[in-house]
């Protein structure tokens, strides 16, 4: 089923299962940045999840087009999002109150 295919599973370095989160979208790219997982989906959502709890840190941002790739700048100040139509969206990452 759709749900079984789209889940995020968390394991420790020695392979101990720590938890999972069912996803509503199909992940097209993701990267781990510090204590966060930054994910883009074919449904056009940019999501930021806590690396340890897997819960959403903020509400997903709608990009309105499938996301093809994601990159985070070295200083963790911006997220670069490549969309299906070739556009590059730059998202500033402030403190939660500023996002």
40 phi, psi to nearest 5 deg: -120, 150
Residue-wise DSSP of 4-30: HHSEEEEE-TT--EEEEEE-SS-EEEE
Domains of the chain, by residue range, sit at: 2-92
Mean pLDDT of the 65-74 span: 96
Average pLDDT over residues 62-66: 96
Query: Which tens digit of pLDDT belongs to each residue from 10-52?
Result: 999 999 999 999 998 999 999 999 899 999 999 999 999 999 9
**The CATH number fitting domain 2-92, selected from 2.30.110.10, 2.60.40.60, 2.40.128.630, 3.30.70.380:** 2.40.128.630
* 80 contacts 90 by C-beta, under 8 angstroms: yes
Is 48 in contact with 55 (CB distance < 8 Å)?
no
Q: Over 50: is that where the pLDDT of 5 sits?
A: yes
The model's pLDDT over 81-99, given as tens digits with 9 standing for 90+, comes to 999 999 999 999 875 544 4
pTM of the model: 0.85
List the one residue out of 46, 82, 86, 44 whose CA is nearest residue 65: 44
pLDDT at 93: 84
Q: Name 35's bridge partners.
A: none
């Amino acid at each position: 089923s759709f749900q079984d295919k789209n889940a995020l599973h968390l394991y420790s370095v020695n392979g101990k299962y720590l938890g999972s989160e069912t996803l509503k979208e199909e992940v097209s790219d993701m990267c781990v940045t510090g204590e966060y997982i930054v994910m883009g989906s074919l449904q056009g959502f940019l999501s930021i999840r806590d690396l340890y709890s897997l819960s959403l840190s903020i509400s997903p941002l709608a990009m309105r087009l499938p996301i093809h790739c994601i990159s985070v700048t070295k200083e963790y100040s911006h997220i670069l999002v490549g969309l299906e139509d070739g556009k590059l969206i730059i998202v500033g990452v402030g403190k939660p109150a500023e996002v």
